[in-house]
Chain A
Amino acid sequence: MPQLSQIGEIYASQLFWLAIVFALIYFGIGKAMVPKIEATIDDRNGRIDGDIAAAEAARAQAHAVEAAYQTGLENARSKAALALGEAKDRATANTEAKLKASDAAMQAQLAAATAQVAASKTQAFAEIETATTDAVEAIIAKLSGVAVDRSTIEARVKTELAHG
């Protein structure tokens, strides 16, 4: 077995070259390249984590914006409903007031007309009274020639008229 029988002549060479090559691998690759590759991996993992966090934040923000939009929509809707109700109330009140005003005007007109009718009636009654008194006075004077006191005639006429 050369591995054992040759030890005496090759051990120095094996040790020498293995030391050189292993040192080259350790310092040239293990110490120099490996940390750079590790840094690349770490950078990438960090970046992926950062991107995921950013995406999460963006999603949360989108949710918040949507919620705000929804509440804004609700607000606007309720405001619109309120405004609509108010407008309706105002219109109703307006109509009612106008109706009331015109009603009152009509009532006043009616009252005025009634009053006028009553006045005309009174005046007509008075004229009838006067005319009747005149007629009665003239009749009495023509038939009997007695001059009767005018106030007496008036009273009698009034009672007769009141009897109907």
Chain B
Amino acid sequence: MSAGKIDPMEQFMVEPVLGRHIDLFGYDVSFTNSALFMVVVFVLLAVFMAGGLKRQLVPGRWQVMAENAVSFIDSMVSVNIGSGGKKFAPYIFSLFFFILFANLIGVMPLAILPGLHTFAVTSHITVTAILAFLSFAIVLVVGFAKHGLKFFSLFVPHGAPGWLMPVIIPVEFVSFMVRPFSLALRLFVAMTAGHILLEVFGSFVVQGINAGGALGPIVSVLSFIMIVGVSALELLVCAIQAYVFALLTSLYLHDAVHLH
């Protein structure tokens, strides 16, 4: 393979596994590599959490990890949603751990095994947008079910002078409506950028070796060091983005439950 053919966008291609298409009511719902990695995420998460089901009084290491995962979400929910937030804990849990596992699997360097290409589910705007609009829909449903039309008072901040209302209310409304887009774009852009960066530096390594000369190997080594650094950074970004997504969803749910 010549170095010039490395396309940093190729890794984001979605194609049906084994080239088979499945049609359902005229929609193409093929089992793609994206779907495959969603299933992988589910299986890994299920295995991980199953380790927490031993219910021992004195837990083993695995059980402690699973229990800490649950406690982490519980404390996030209780701190950010407050009273009445307990019933959203399963949703926040699913959201956080689906995104976290999908992010982490995406940056696993499994491609060193021939034929194995990892796929970051969360680097797709289609996936992040679905999750973001699901969160937004839950906020709307909870808000209107709990407060009815009073939910619109969310756009009227407390203590602002009356003459500012014509300005503030549209601003608040726009910032509210932008929420699902910012949620979806933040995760999608962070993951995509990280993967492109890794791929670009990876192609630099290959091109440096192929170029030969005195400069080529130096470029390769420097790029490889960059890959190590960027990989470490990516691991951090994986956790932070999952955390931000879950945290913002919790805060939006807090608005829906308590209206400020």
Contact = CB atoms under 8 A, between A and B. Distances in A.
Interface stretch (B30-38, B142-150, B203-211): B30-38
Contacts of A7: 125-126
A31 B90 contact: yes
Contacts of B52: 33, 37, 40
Interface string A1-26: 11110110111111111110110111
Contact of A14 (B42, B45, B71, B130): B130
Contact of A12 (B10, B27, B49, B90): B27
B49 A33 contact: yes
A13 B35 contact: yes
B53 A17 contact: no
Secondary structure dominating the interface of B: helix
Given A12-B29, A21-B38, A40-B67, A26 B46 contact: no
Q: How large is the interface on B (under 10, 10 to 19, 20 to 34, 35 or more residues)?
A: 35 or more
A53 to B, nearest CB: 17
A17 B31 contact: yes
A16 B29 contact: yes
Interface residues of A, number: 37
A38 B74 contact: yes
A30 interface: yes
Interface in B1-26: 9-10, 12-14, 24
A28 interface: yes
Contacts of A155: none
Closest 3 CB pairs of A and B: A30-B90, A17-B35, A12-B27
8 contacts: A7-B126, A15-B130, A17-B34, A22-B94, A36-B53, A36-B55, A38-B70, A41-B71
